[in-house]
């Protein structure tokens, strides 16, 4: 070990200096693996053509070119090329957005530098740094361990070893195989138990992970259940349309129509029925949803979570951090048989400790702190791994919030952490683990003494004596202590017990057996993590949205129930709570009943969290689960939406989660659910807008071809409508704001098909309207003008005019305008993207008919003012028709729009 320290230029006691760190950055660079280059841009662009629809267009263009129709071929190929560009740009934007959001969440690690414990991003580590590891950490670099305490590390990703490996500090031969190097901790592995310290001996590409070229980058995939539904739907539609087009072509030839005419009809029919712009709209909508969630402190790690959030029926949340402020504050202390009040909140040292007498008179301590109170506060400082930091007026804790509250309480009594630790240096410790429910430290205070803090149950069971006000040892008064605990928990306080034990002068190490019996009870400290005001509001919104909230916590049941009542977890005053030990005795049927009726589950073990999630899922619920610890990882993986804490969570929890909260706030979960519902709502709107146009075009071409009439719309004109016009008018739907009533709707059924029966009815009705409009206006115009090109142009422009009205009818802006027409005080929705889309569509349609170049390419003709006026007339019947469709289709996108 000494050789390793010498080679790295490190210091095991003080760590590196700031100057040494700066020099290492210059020579070694950052501790991160180079990102593996993705597919080159040219290949990603070519892959945009890897779609069945585009194959058809390319083949159709080639046939047109072989027949001498070079203009038609050029337009078809041009539209194909444009589709590829749109897909390429949007896919790149979406992937870039998700990748940048993933990078925004950095891995924090604890290091020792200049004698101080700091938290820095893992990429800032350099050779020679001293890294402190605790349960739940992700190992940030290759470390040579020099201090361990029951340290176990999961190295399965590197070695394939399924079980965690026990670590030690003993030297090993150089030829020791990787999987047997017990004195090393490697990048990317996870600490599952205990604590340790290690010297950074390799970073970035020099690590074992780097040597075998394992890329640690996060792969971004835009494939989700919803996009796969779209792909399946498109394939089914494609096969159906190809079959119908082939049949139409054969029937036309048999009726004596020319080969050229029927080929044009078949191509137009095939192209018209397929919603070419839909995949791009799906990608854009999901990407916008991801960015909106990020702005509301929810980072999506796995894109399917965007969809799943919209159908969540239950949110299982821990109390700490998400529902509360995550700033524990000691409010009551019980020591020497006396209660004390602590004034002042948060981690600030401002405040004081006063004694409250039976006559409600409060007094401070002019003659100094009582000995029992001092010992209780001292135990809270010494049996502690946290540190208080402040910048200006802002105080924060480096470490556990509970331990930070203990430090803050001591500073209010003028007991400093620096002074106490200097006078009582720590010799050894037993870190807190959930299975033991306590932490213990061994100190040299002239004589050797052990301090213990933990749950009341764990500490009291090991105590036989207690300290009175004069620091004299007396028999344990368990009944009075339990009464004090009940009084604290009735105030929703989290209670920790403190004890000590004198040991011999030759003891240098600490083991669980040392504190099994013989402890002297010092006192209790009751603290509270107050509910967040925004979390209270979010719980209220979730209840009205049909989403149930279950609190699953390790806190005392009385504390958890009190917090649940303060945040109005249930409208009923009586909150139903279960303890973990009661759940153990339940069979599956009883657990199912408990998870249905229960609101709070306290003192639960990790396996019970997983079991609760499974019981909810067995009932058909879609479960969102929050967590921040190593023990939460199984439940996070099992849940439909695993939500980890981005600030206070462990790396194990983050890796298992689908979503990260950058502010660790329950209100952000509610906001993410709201955004998830909005994303699905906007996708439904896009489908409801796009497919009726395809349906109307297909019906028009099919009937005209079978009746041997002139085609009211050509294949090139169909491409223009489906690609240019549709995208211009549909993409703004992805930016639609949330509906005012979206969180008053019940959760969406997760197995709901892409095209529901009500939505199918809407598509058929609007398709029929569009067919009547195109076919009828074309037939009338052909008789009135005798010009096929003018007639087709008028039919297309009339369709676009009606589409504008229909677009407004399913948008928030349309709802606002309709409310104003009905003399309601409805605020006008902010819809700049929708107005820009409509404006862009109008401008493009003017060019489509009035510009000679477009006339040549798309076989259109300029229109006169009178003809334009006639094209606008279909907007009038579309208004009452759209209102009628919205009324007869209450389950359509209109349900959250109009």
Question: Where in the sequence numbering do the catalytic residues fall?
Answer: 318
The string of DSSP letters for 83-144 reads HHHHHHHHHHHHHHHHHHHHHHSPPEEEEEETTEEEEEEGGG--TT-EEEEETTPBP-SEEE
Query: Other C-beta atoms within 10 Å of 219: how many?
Result: 10
Q: How far apart are CA 606 and CA 124, in angstroms?
A: 33
Q: How far apart are CA 191 and CA 83, in angstroms?
A: 49
Query: Other C-beta atoms within 10 Å of 886: how many?
Result: 21
The string of DSSP letters for 61-99 reads HHHHHHTT-HHHHHHHHHHHHHHHHHHHHHHHHHHHHHH
> 718 with 289: CB under 8 angstroms?
no
Q: How far apart are CA 105 and CA 218, in angstroms?
A: 12
Q: How far apart are CA 376 and CA 500, in angstroms?
A: 9
Q: How far apart are CA 57 and CA 608, in angstroms?
A: 56
Q: How far apart are CA 30 and CA 204, in angstroms?
A: 7
| Both tokens assigned to 287 | 């990407």
The string of DSSP letters for 438-497 reads EEEEEEEESEEEEEEEE-HHHHHTTEEEEEBTTS-EEE--HHHHHHHHHHHHTTT-EEEE
> 383 with 399: CB under 8 angstroms?
no
Q: How far apart are CA 428 and CA 420, in angstroms?
A: 16
Q: What residue has token string 């003494």? A: 449
> Which of 432, 435, 443 lies closest to 400 in space, CA to CA?
432
| Both tokens assigned to 374 | 């001092």
* DSSP annotation of 811: S
> Which of 566, 558, 561 lies closest to 526 in space, CA to CA?
558
Q: How far apart are CA 669 and CA 624, in angstroms?
A: 9
Our CA angle for 490, 492, 496, nearest 5°, is 95
Phi, psi (rounded to 5 degrees) for 511: -135, 165
Q: Is 743 exposed, middle or buried (0-12, 13-18, 19+ CB in 10 A)?
A: buried
Q: What residue has token string 């009135």? A: 784
Q: How far apart are CA 545 and CA 557, in angstroms?
A: 27
Phi, psi (rounded to 5 degrees) for 809: -65, -25
Phi, psi (rounded to 5 degrees) for 7: -65, -40
> 490 with 550: CB under 8 angstroms?
no
> Which of 626, 479, 457, 654 lies closest to 553 in space, CA to CA?
626
| Both tokens assigned to 301 | 């790690």
Q: What residue has token string 């249930």? A: 570
> 209 with 143: CB under 8 angstroms?
no
Query: Other C-beta atoms within 10 Å of 99: how many?
Result: 16
| Both tokens assigned to 542 | 């979730």
Phi, psi (rounded to 5 degrees) for 737: -70, 170
């Amino acid at each position: 070990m000494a050789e390793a320290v010498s080679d790295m230029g490190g210091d095991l006691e003080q760590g590196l200096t700031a100057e040494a760190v700066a020099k290492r950055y210059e020579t070694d660079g950052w501790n991160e693996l180079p990102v593996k280059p993705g597919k080159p841009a040219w290949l990603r662009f070519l892959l945009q053509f890897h779609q069945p629809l585009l194959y058809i267009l390319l083949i159709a263009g080639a046939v047109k070119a072989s027949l001498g129709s070079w203009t038609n071929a050029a337009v078809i190929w041009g539209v194909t090329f444009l589709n590829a560009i749109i897909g390429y740009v949007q896919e790149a934007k979406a992937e870039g957005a998700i990748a940048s959001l993933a990078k925004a969440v950095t891995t924090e690690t604890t290091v020792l530098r200049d004698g101080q414990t700091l938290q820095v991003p893992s990429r800032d580590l350099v050779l020679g740094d001293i890294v402190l590891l605790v349960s739940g950490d992700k190992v940030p670099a290759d470390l040579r361990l020099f201090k361990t305490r029951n340290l176990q590390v999961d190295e399965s990703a590197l070695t394939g070893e399924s079980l965690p490996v026990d670590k030690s500090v003993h030297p090993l031969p150089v030829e020791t195989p990787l999987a047997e190097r017990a004195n090393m901790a490697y990048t990317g592995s996870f600490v599952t138990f205990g604590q340790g310290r290690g010297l950074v001996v390799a970073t970035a590409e020099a690590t074992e992970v780097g040597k075998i070229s394992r890329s640690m980058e996060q792969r971004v995939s835009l494939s989700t259940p919803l996009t796969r539904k779209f792909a399946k739907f498109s394939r089914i539609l494609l096969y159906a349309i190809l079959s119908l087009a082939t049949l139409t072509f054969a029937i036309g030839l048999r009726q004596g129509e020319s080969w050229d005419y029927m080929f044009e009809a078949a191509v137009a029919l095939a192209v018209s029925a397929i919603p070419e712009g839909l995949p791009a709209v799906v990608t854009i909508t999901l990407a916008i949803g991801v960015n909106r969630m990020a702005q509301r402190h929810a980072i999506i790690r796995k894109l399917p979570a965007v969809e799943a959030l919209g159908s969540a029926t239950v949110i299982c949340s821990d109390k700490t951090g998400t529902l509360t402020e995550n700033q524990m504050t000691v409010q009551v202390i019980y020591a020497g048989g006396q209660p004390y009040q602590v004034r002042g909140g948060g981690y600030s040292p401002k405040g004081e400790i006063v004694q409250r007498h039976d006559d409600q008179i409060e007094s401070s301590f002019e003659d100094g702190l009582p000995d029992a109170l001092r010992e209780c506060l001292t135990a809270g400082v010494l049996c502690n791994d946290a540190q208080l930091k402040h910048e200006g007026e802002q105080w924060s804790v480096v470490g556990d919030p509970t331990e930070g509250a203990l430090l803050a309480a001591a500073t209010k009594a003028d007991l400093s952490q620096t002074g106490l630790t200097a006078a009582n240096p720590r010799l050894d410790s037993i870190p807190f683990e959930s299975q033991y429910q306590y932490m213990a430290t061994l100190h040299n205070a002239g004589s050797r003494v052990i301090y213990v803090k933990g749950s009341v149950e764990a500490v009291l069971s090991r105590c036989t004596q207690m300290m009175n006000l004069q620091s004299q040892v007396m028999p344990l008064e368990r009944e009075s202590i339990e009464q004090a605990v009940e009084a604290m928990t009735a105030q929703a306080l989290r209670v920790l017990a403190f004890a000590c034990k004198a040991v011999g002068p030759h003891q240098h190490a600490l083991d669980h057996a040392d504190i099994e019996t013989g402890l002297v009870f010092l006192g209790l400290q009751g603290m509270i993590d107050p509910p967040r005001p925004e979390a209270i509001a979010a719980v209220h919104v979730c209840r009205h949205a049909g989403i149930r909230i279950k609190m699953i916590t390790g806190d005392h049941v009385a504390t958890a129930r009190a917090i649940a009542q303060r945040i109005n977890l249930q409208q009923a005053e009586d909150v139903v709570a279960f303890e973990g030990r009661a759940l153990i005795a339940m069979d599956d049927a009883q657990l199912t009943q408990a998870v249905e009726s229960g609101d709070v589950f306290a003192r639960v073990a990790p396996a019970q969290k997983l079991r609760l999630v499974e019981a909810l899922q067995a009932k058909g619920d879609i479960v969102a689960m929050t967590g921040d610890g190593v023990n939460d990882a199984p439940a996070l993986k099992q849940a439909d939406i695993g939500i980890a804490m981005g600030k206070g969570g462990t790396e194990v929890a983050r890796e298992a989660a689908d979503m990260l909260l950058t502010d660790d706030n329950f209100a952000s979960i509610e906001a993410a659910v709201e955004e998830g519902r909005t994303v699905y709502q906007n996708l439904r709107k896009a489908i409801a807008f796009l497919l009726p146009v395809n349906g109307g075009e297909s019906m028009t071409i099919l009937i005209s071809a079978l009746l041997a009439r002139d085609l009211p719309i050509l294949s090139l004109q169909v491409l223009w409508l489906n690609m240019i016009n549709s995208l211009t008018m549909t993409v703004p739907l992805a930016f639609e704001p949330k509906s005012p009533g979206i969180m008053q709707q019940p959760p969406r059924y997760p197995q709901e098909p892409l095209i529901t029966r009500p939505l199918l009815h809407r598509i058929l009705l609007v398709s029929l309207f569009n067919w009547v409009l195109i076919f009828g206006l074309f037939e009338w115009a052909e008789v009135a003008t005798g010009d096929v090109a003018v007639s087709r142009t008028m039919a297309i422009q009339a369709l676009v005019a009606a589409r504008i009205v229909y677009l407004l009818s399913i948008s928030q802006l349309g709802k606002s305008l309709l409310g104003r027409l009905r003399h309601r005080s409805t605020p006008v929705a902010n819809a700049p993207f929708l107005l820009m889309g409509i404006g862009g569509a109008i401008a493009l349609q003017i060019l489509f008919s009035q510009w000679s170049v477009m006339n040549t390419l798309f076989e259109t003709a300029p229109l006169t003012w009178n003809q334009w006026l006639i094209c606008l007339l279909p907007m009038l019947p579309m208004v009452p028709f759209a209102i009628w469709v919205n009324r007869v289709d209450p389950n359509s996108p209109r349900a959250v729009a109009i």
